[in-house]
Structure 1
């Protein structure tokens, strides 16, 4: 039985959210992620290198779980999917983008941070949502309040870090957490792969201790 995107995300527990400015860094980064137990990435469309980075990652690692983040338009959806993205993530809830993805059989996880947006998302048939920006929107307390009322799962992103990820992952309605700290921009820019490897290994150790 083929795994769903949601089940794959749940197995990963953490999704590295990465803005790549130099597509030449995409394959080496994918190599570090895959070889160190975190074969997943959300490549954000905050840079012009996003689509090419996704294409290069997909080419090198066909089984890697790759999302396209900060997707704001249907044109970006097309670019991401053509490049090989498995799913789409948006910072907010845009009904036009959601409908376009649904019409084309593309998984989309839009951002919400209050009850009204959750209800709008549910009305569109969505059950997996990005809680964003997590910490700025009330953190785990707000997440628990929303989860107590609505039958959806969340991917908290924004302000997630080594000090609070255990608490987020322990929450029963958390599918996975998105974060940036395990692949710092300065290390990525400089191609410091050993340092990034160490960061990913520390993250994995942290996750295992939180779920054991």
Structure 2
């Protein structure tokens, strides 16, 4: 049985904002700013006590937002995230047992990997698109270039250490379908309620070109 494909989602935007929401009241205006800026795919990380409530609020109140749950690290996160309204899941890494749980999820998943062996293990579960994390620390662009030949069927969403200075280099790789990053959602802008700044950063990111074909 084939897994739910993330390609229709990833085709919508070249950048997935990786969001840490500390205050629930920031969730809806932040998501609206990102959608207005052309970045509808929003990864809300499960790093704070309000993360699931933030996903629930955005899913019910922000038209056009496509919510993902990030930092999914255990099977319990899968059910809780989907119940809250997550349309896709992202993990920072994937153990063999957890890979099986993610493969059984009813929504698209970007399982995390940082090596060729991990990528091959995930490929054996049926995954075709993976999160490459932490991208810069794990080899960055040279790593992704080097595995394009031996693993031609795989596509990646690199995340970690990516920003305005290197994002275009990543998106120029044919095996990179999108990138994840937090530079479009600066913590100081969120704290200050400066969602116009977030919208403008999102707009610039939404105009980036990518080499990957869908």
Common topology (TM > 0.5): yes
Q: Is the CA contact 2:16–2:180 (under 8 Å) kept in the aligned structure 1?
A: yes
SS of equivalent residue, structure 2 residue 101: helix
Aligned ranges for residues 177-192 of structure 1 at < 5 Å?
Answer: 177-192=179-194
Q: How many residues align?
A: 207
How far is the alpha carbon of 1:89 from its aligned partner? Answer: 0.5
Within 5 Å, which residues of 2 pair with 1:119-130?
A: 119-130=120-131
Residues 129 and 155, structure 1, Cα contact 8 Å, conserved in 2: yes
Residue range with higher mean Cα deviation, 5-14 or 112-121: 5-14
Aligned residue runs from structure 1 range 61-210, under 5 A: 61-150=62-151, 151-205=153-207, 207-208=208-209
Is the Cα–Cα contact under 8 Å of residues 66 and 85 in structure 1 kept in the other structure?
yes
Higher relative contact order (CA 8 A, sep 6+): 2
5+ residue gaps, structure 1, are none
Aligned ranges for residues 49-68 of structure 1 at < 5 Å? 49-68=50-69
Superposed CA offset, 1:123-157 (max 9, x none): 11111111111111111000111222112100010
How far the C-alpha of 1:27 sits from its partner, in A, is 0.6
CA deviations 1:67-121 (Å, max 9, x no partner) are 1101111111111100000111001012333322332423221111111111111
Deviation at 1:193, TM superposition (A): 1.1
Q: Contact 2:184 / 2:202 at 8 angstroms: preserved in 1?
A: yes
More helix by share: 1
2:163 aligns to what SS in structure 1? coil
Q: Structure 1 residues 126 and 84, CA, compared in 2 at 3 Å: closer, same or farther?
A: same
Whether the 8 Å contact between 2:14 and 2:205 is mirrored in structure 1 is no
Aligned in 2, Cα 1:104/1:139: closer, same or farther, shift over 3 Å? Answer: closer
CA contact (8 A) 1:26 1:53 kept: yes
**Whole-angstrom CA distance in 1 between matches of 2:82 and 2:63:** 14
Matched-pair contact (CA < 8 Å) for 1:74–1:97: yes
Unpaired segments ≥5 residues, structure 2: none
Which 4+ residue blocks in structure 1 deviate beyond 3 angstroms?
none
